[in-house]
Structure 1
Amino acid sequence: MNYTKIFKNLGFAVAGLAIYLGLLSTLIHFEKQAESPSINTLSDAVWYSIVTMTTVGYGDMSPQTELGKIIGYIFIFASMGVLGFLIGRISSFINEIHENRRLGYNGTKFMNHVVIIGWDRFAQNVVDQLVASDIKVAVIMDQRAQLELISENYDREQVYFLLADHHNFELARKAHIEAASIVFVNLEDDTEKLVYLMNSQQFYYRDLKYGVVVNDDELIPAFEAAGADIVLSRDEFDAKLTASFIFEQEVGKYTEKMISGSKKEDDFEIQQYRVISQNRFRDKLYSEAFFDIKKQLDAVLIGLATTIEGERVVLSNPDDPNLRISEGDYLILIASGQVSKKLQRSFGVNEGSL
């Protein structure tokens, strides 16, 4: 709290009130000397000053003496300053509201959303993919020019932007970071990412789920030891996709399309759905579910994420004839955007794990 500013403003207020009361007392003193004064008491003087400074001017009261009229002139000229001050303060207040909203300082009420720390072209592509999957995103960036350039390109109901220093963890609470499903740390340098990860874990009252893409895959164990839940190597992923394009161009194109969010209803993508108690395929054999999902829902079951001996594993097209689908597993499918709506209604959950 800035006590110096508070005392300074309080001093100006006391000085202004003293001058105002002094003028009222002087006005009453002079007006009592007139033959038929209309301003006799303090309440008369206050009423006259108010209607004069607000430019209402009822004319029911007016100074009769020359010195009283001089004080009246002072009130008239003061009214210009008072009105200017009030209009300026109101305009400043409205502008401050708009500015705070634009910079994200009003906060967001997003729940189970994705928080992205840092903004670049890569982050923008990630946001576009998440938005295409109808996932809400909060982005924390520290460059005002970036915010002014891109914030208007997204629906505020879907993407929230906050201008803040990346290490200002208290201000990051405006992004409702502690209610997020995952925090994606997208800072430029791997060391900065690691420092952010360790410091933020010490600050927030609840454990957050963190994801990070590292530039140096040798640092993956360090990030895992620091508590990152998802650690990916950008070079390794890019290399695999590039190699696929080099010797299997069609496979590369298909893979790229499958990992992208469907922008049109007839676009296909790989999706996952959590198995809840109401899911009709719960406790069914995987082999039976494969044919039923294709026949009834027009989607292709290609894998199952399940827990084996306490470890989460992904089974790609499993051939175990006795494998059953359990509550809490994830069904991994290939489906179009149009079919995904049918899948969500049938499974009772939205796409994804967020």
Structure 2
Amino acid sequence: MMFVLIQRFCRHALFSLYENTWVVIVISIAMLYAGGWISMSAFNETDIIDNYTWWFSVTITTVGYGDYAPGSYGGRFTAGVIMFFGIGIIGLVVGKLAETIIEIANRKVKGFSHMNYENHTVIMGYRTGSTEKMITELLADNPEQKIVLCSLTQESNPMVKQKVDFIRGELASTDVLTRSNAAKARNIIIHGKDDDQTFFTAYALREINRQAHMVCCLMDEDHADKIKNLPADDPSLNQIVLPANIYLMAQELQDRESCSVVQNLISNLTGQNMYRLDIPKQEDFSVSYKSLFFALKEKYGVTVIAVKDKELEINPPLDMTIKPGMAVFYAGPERLSFIELDAIQ
């Protein structure tokens, strides 16, 4: 019985020491420092006392430059004690530092860290396979953008190799919204396990961020108005994506290979892709759709397929006037980084 009690006491003491390792290290160094100084003073080691802090540092770390060395037997014994305990203390320091670094790295992988990004992309929800493909598309268009993936179902970051940051927790919770810095995000994608989770997450996000472009994946088209009516600086910032494969299957049966056309346009990895061009409001610009269509085709090799004023118009009439503040959607091999609008008029 006594042995069991002693064993429990030792375990408890060791655990307490482990939990307070840094305190133990500081106290041990302080005691060695004070004890060594008193001992060296007692043995009249004048050179060491005059340079004690330096001598103590090189002795406890067992570096031992030898520029100051005790001459008395008592001084040498004291130096030996400091070196002996120094080996253990330095080992503890190195081990604790390594443990701290590993713990910090694990916290990031496990999704418990805090992001300080701004103008980044936040993805709420994870679905094996589809989320990876979506992130691959995003990085293909802009490899430098910062992406933060939030999920409750994943215990660790599923996309470490892609350098995507990870936050673990309930999507609509204040904790996740804060740690992902969603209030400063430029783009938000919500891919909840069902439409209820998607809507509640979108609602929580719009309470803290009305400037971001938010895209929500819904299973039921009847829920689309709930997302579109959420408060935003511009109604067009609230967008929904439906399970398009159902519509594409019907379209494919009616018009063979139409699926290939649509899938090519929405992929950033291969073929001709679709991009958006916003005409700045401050530009002195006015041109017909016909002139814009042929000018962009001849000068840049892209095809205008839609125009957005108050409403989106696919294949608009040739005499439609394109003005500042409107958006133009075009198909091309890559995004145009610069367009000379003056040369088009």
TM-score bin, normalised by smaller chain: 0.7 to 0.9
Indicate whether 1:17 and 2:30 are aligned.
yes
Which residue matches 1:272?
Answer: 276
Question: 1:227, CA displacement in angstroms?
Answer: 4.1
Which residue matches 2:338?
Answer: 345
Offset from partner CA, 1:102-137 (integer Å, 9 cap, x none): 6784746453x4321122222222222223333735
Give 2:187's match in structure 1, choosing from 182, 190, 199: 182
Question: 1:209, CA displacement in angstroms?
Answer: 4.0
| Partner SS state of residue 200, structure 2 | helix
Question: 1:316, CA displacement in angstroms?
Answer: 1.8
Return the alpha-carbon distance in structure 2 between the equivalents of residues 196 and 248 of structure 1. Answer: 38
Which residue matches 2:312?
Answer: 314
Give 1:71's match in structure 2, choosing from 78, 85, 91: 78
Could you say if the C-alpha distance between residues 205 and 6 of structure 1 is closer, same or farther in structure 2, counting changes exceeding 3 Å? farther
Give 1:199's match in structure 2, choosing from 198, 201, 204: 204
Which residue matches 2:133?
Answer: 125
Return the alpha-carbon distance in structure 1 between the equivalents of residues 53 and 146 of structure 2. Answer: 56
- Map 1:271-290 onto structure 2 (within 5 A): 271-276=275-280, 282-290=285-293
Contact kept in structure 1, 2:289 and 2:322, CA below 8 Å = yes
Return the alpha-carbon distance in structure 2 between the equivalents of residues 301 and 42 of structure 1. Answer: 84
Give 1:242's match in structure 2, choosing from 249, 254, 258: 249
| Partner SS state of residue 345, structure 1 | coil
Aligned length: 314
Give 1:219's match in structure 2, choosing from 190, 214, 223: 223
Could you say if the C-alpha distance between residues 206 and 278 of structure 1 is closer, same or farther in structure 2, counting changes exceeding 3 Å? closer
User: Aligned-residue CA RMSD in angstroms?
Assistant: 3.7
Question: 1:219, CA displacement in angstroms?
Answer: 2.5
Question: 1:306, CA displacement in angstroms?
Answer: 0.7
Give 1:80's match in structure 2, choosing from 87, 94, 97: 87
| Partner SS state of residue 328, structure 1 | coil
Return the alpha-carbon distance in structure 2 between the equivalents of residues 116 and 347 of structure 1. Answer: 34
Return the alpha-carbon distance in structure 1 between the equivalents of residues 52 and 267 of structure 2. Answer: 75
Which residue matches 2:322?
Answer: 325
Question: 1:94, CA displacement in angstroms?
Answer: 4.9
Could you say if the C-alpha distance between residues 174 and 69 of structure 1 is closer, same or farther in structure 2, counting changes exceeding 3 Å? same
User: Structure 1 stretches of 5 or more lacking a match?
Assistant: 32-36, 308-312, 349-354
| Partner SS state of residue 277, structure 2 | strand
Give 1:334's match in structure 2, choosing from 311, 316, 331: 331
Indicate whether 1:140 and 2:144 are aligned.
no
- Map 1:137-176 onto structure 2 (within 5 A): 137-142=146-151, 147=157, 149-152=158-161, 154=162, 156=163, 160-165=164-169, 166-167=171-172, 169=174, 172=177, 175-176=180-181
Could you say if the C-alpha distance between residues 289 and 9 of structure 1 is closer, same or farther in structure 2, counting changes exceeding 3 Å? closer
Contact kept in structure 2, 1:258 and 1:268, CA below 8 Å = yes
Q: Letter of the 1:285 partner, please give it.
A: S
| Partner SS state of residue 295, structure 1 | helix
Contact kept in structure 1, 2:264 and 2:272, CA below 8 Å = yes
Offset from partner CA, 1:131-174 (integer Å, 9 cap, x none): 33337351323466662x4321x3x4xxx422332345456556
Offset from partner CA, 1:298-322 (integer Å, 9 cap, x none): 3222221112xxxxx011222263x
| Partner SS state of residue 245, structure 2 | helix
Return the alpha-carbon distance in structure 2 between the equivalents of residues 164 and 294 of structure 1. Answer: 46
Question: 1:273, CA displacement in angstroms?
Answer: 1.0
| Partner SS state of residue 309, structure 2 | strand
Could you say if the C-alpha distance between residues 277 and 74 of structure 1 is closer, same or farther in structure 2, counting changes exceeding 3 Å? same
Q: TM-score, normalised by structure 2?
A: 0.74
Could you say if the C-alpha distance between residues 53 and 134 of structure 1 is closer, same or farther in structure 2, counting changes exceeding 3 Å? closer
| Partner SS state of residue 187, structure 1 | coil
Question: 1:58, CA displacement in angstroms?
Answer: 1.1
Contact kept in structure 2, 1:299 and 1:334, CA below 8 Å = yes
User: Identity over the aligned pairs, expressed in percent?
Assistant: 14
User: Structure 2 stretches of 5 or more lacking a match?
Assistant: 1-17
Q: Letter of the 1:219 partner, please give it.
A: H
